Chain A
Amino acid sequence: MELLTIDIAHVLAGALLLTSFMLLYQDRLSGLINIYTLHAVILSLSVAWQAYYQDAPHLYFTACIAAIFKALIIPFSLRRIIKRLRIHRTVEVVGGVGITMLIGIFLVALSLVVMLPATASADPLSREDIAFALAIVLLGLLMMVTRRNVVSQIIGFMSLENGLVLAAAGANGMPLVVEISVAFSILIAFIVIGIFLFRIRERFDNVDLSELDRVRGGRS
């Protein structure tokens, strides 16, 4: 029974990692938002499973936040934003998919090599969860580095935050304060980003960050 419980947790965390890989190569904005929704759903399942396994009711709350806020509200508003900005049919040029995937695989290997020996004494469940979480965080970073479009960068950042929530849920009995604050900060961060999106639109008529680079020209 114990083993099955751990296996289910690993399947969920592994699925989250796979979805992170899907985010890496998806080049349509609307497709990206769909995959992010999937990412959030798997996260909420994974956190709910942790809540059941650790017998920690407050984690159900975190799972609900993930399900309602990240899997419903954010994708909905993102879709509205890209429609209003008339970029919902945009196909982004994602350079070097093969190389990006290879770097991604390397990052996953790196996080396993770093985390597993360090956490040898920890609970087997939280130990492998934290390794998966680190891999998801690093993949999120990779996505933010490789994308030029503001919306894709935001999704990269949000997948990174999902990795952090997975890590926080996996840490046995970590106080509620932290999880709420994580969710709350995502909300704030999202509002800020939303404001920025519209400001950038006002100024540039498109949300490609290479526009911003052009503006920089001639300054030191």
Chain B
Amino acid sequence: MSSDLLLVSNALVGIPAVAAIAVALEPAYRRSAIINLCASGATFLFALVLLVVEPESGGYLFVDDLNIVFVVLSTFIGFTTSVYSASYIDHEMETGRLTTRNVRFYHAMYQSLMCAMNLALLASNIGLMWVAVEVATLTTVLMVGMYRTPHALEAAWKYFILGSVGIALALFGTILIYMAAEPVLGQGYDAMVWKTLMQQAPQFNPRMLNVAFVFLMLGYGTKVGLAPMHAWLPDAHAEGPTPISAVLSGLLLNVALYAVLRFKMLLTANAAAITPGPLMITLGLASLIMAAIMLYRRGDIKRLFAYSSIEHMGIIAFAFGMGGPLANFAGLLHMTMHSLTKSAIFFSVGHIAQVKGTQRIADIRGLTQSQPALGWSLVAGVVAIIGLPPLGIFMSEFLVVSSTFARQPLLAIPLVFGLLLAFGALLLRLTGMAFGEPSSDKGEVRASMWPVYAHLSLVLLAGIYLPSHVVTWFQNVARLLG
């Protein structure tokens, strides 16, 4: 591995790790928010360097075309979320919902989460990736329970138990992959490294790979939030601090998806093993339709958008399950667009809940009149997430649907049905919240709106004009995914 690439990939893991210690030692909450922001910004800049250096592998970390997409996306959202989080935390301190000790802990956990996610994405072997996903889960559990209300504790406990079971199943799958690789690659480290695994995959025992994939899909699939293992997701999103809801939806679900995709590539490389596609398609469609139906009965604004995340992870899993250059391209684009849009929505939702003093949809009315900036951002975000043109999600959903029609017309029927169902539910809820006679405000916020504007303008840009080198880049990755 060339030395500059080594430096960059180490920095991506190292900066958040050092920053986590720094903020843990910093008692003043404003200053720790600034450290948090600077560290996330620096990590993002280093991630951008990955775009220009030649991908290589070696040591404990490696970089290839696939994980660059994930790293750049997650460090960018990590950075904008830290900007948003500063104003969110300010308000929580003023209203006394959090103490200085809570905030210190929160910032330390935020940076540990960034470190763990980058490590999971860059890890060169399946064992290290598993450890990183486990650490990411534990840090988010602690953040979800931070308000210590009975609801928050219940959510954290549920997330912890379901997350640990998922992680345990994933470890079992990881051990099985090692056992499948060991007769070919010999004992020791080589049988766990992605690069050698991918090269020798055609010779592995296919039946072992099959069993292993079922465990990995169920295990990491729990973390992706696919039905029927999704039960933790709405609670964790609704009860934790809102920046964490944004990070969970925008980043952590993607990291788990990345793990699934890597193992899917491994199975695709072995001709005798089952094709992983149908399993992903089934789980994806089940999540899409289940979440779309559940959207109609939500009374809590953060829960509403949490179910919408399940719906979109379902669409993404479906697209990758279909496979082929076009569907993979659509899946990648949809994942990027969903992360940007959903975190933008959560940024607005967090401030809306602070202004109104409630998360109940029934108590939030007429936002566009009383809070024009927040109200219209929410409208723009929801218009984007339900897939109206000319925004980016329209394009990616259009690609998913059209590639399905071209290859498996019958599967397109439940897909379109689910999409329309979700469309109706979100539009219905949005009109109540955004328009009509405004409900009374409980507080004031100094909202920092530019993270929202930045995300939404990127989504708009992608819908109108996708730069050609982004297209070729995504096409390369789509080919890599098989």
Contact = CB atoms under 8 A, between A and B. Distances in A.
A219 B179 contact: no
A133 B172 CA distance: 9
A175 B131 contact: no
B171 interface: yes
Contact of B211 (A115, A181, A196): A115
Interface in B178-232: 178-179, 182-183, 187-189, 192, 205, 207-208, 210-211
B160 A192 contact: yes
Contacts of B172: 133-134, 137, 164, 167
A121 B161 contact: no
B382 interface: no
B449 interface: no
Interface stretch (B21-29, B150-158, B440-448): B150-158
Contacts of B300: 219-220
Looking at A114, A137, A185, A199, the one whose CB has the most chain B CB atoms below 10 A away is A185
Interface string B232-267: 000000000000000000000000000000000000
Contacts of A122: 179, 183, 205, 208
Contacts, number: 120
A172 interface: yes
Interface in B96-131: 127-128, 130-131
Given A164-B172, A182-B171, A192-B142, A175 B165 contact: no
A164 B168 contact: yes
B178 to A, nearest CB: 5
B164 interface: yes
Chain B interface secondary structure, helix, strand, loop or mixed?
helix
A215 B207 CA distance: 46
B38 interface: no
A204 to B, nearest CB: 7
A199 to B, nearest CB: 6
B145 interface: yes
Given A175-B188, A192-B138, A212 B161 contact: no
A171 B150 contact: no
Given A121-B205, A175-B192, A196-B157, A189 B183 contact: no
A5 interface: no
Contact of A130 (B160, B168, B176, B188): B176
Contact of A160 (B151, B154, B168, B303): B168
A175 B127 contact: yes
B397 interface: no
B31 interface: no
B299 interface: yes
B168 A215 contact: no
Contacts of B12: none
A216 interface: yes
A199 B300 CA distance: 25
Interface in A105-158: 114-115, 117-122, 126, 130, 133-134, 137, 141, 144, 153, 157
Nearest to B167: A185
B134 interface: yes
Interface in A167-192: 167-168, 171-175, 177-178, 181-182, 185, 188-189, 192
A118 B128 contact: no
B153 A196 contact: yes
Interface of B: 127-128, 130-131, 134-135, 138, 141-142, 145, 148, 150-151, 153-154, 156-157, 160-161, 164-165, 168-169, 171-172, 174-176, 178-179, 182-183, 187-189, 192, 205, 207-208, 210-211, 297-300, 303
> 8 tightest A-B contacts by CB?
A173-B187, A118-B207, A220-B299, A178-B127, A181-B131, A215-B150, A212-B154, A118-B211
25 contacts: A119-B207, A119-B208, A122-B179, A126-B179, A130-B179, A153-B161, A167-B172, A171-B175, A171-B182, A172-B187, A174-B175, A174-B192, A178-B174, A182-B171, A185-B134, A188-B135, A189-B138, A192-B160, A199-B153, A215-B151, A219-B299, A219-B300, A220-B297, A220-B300, A220-B303
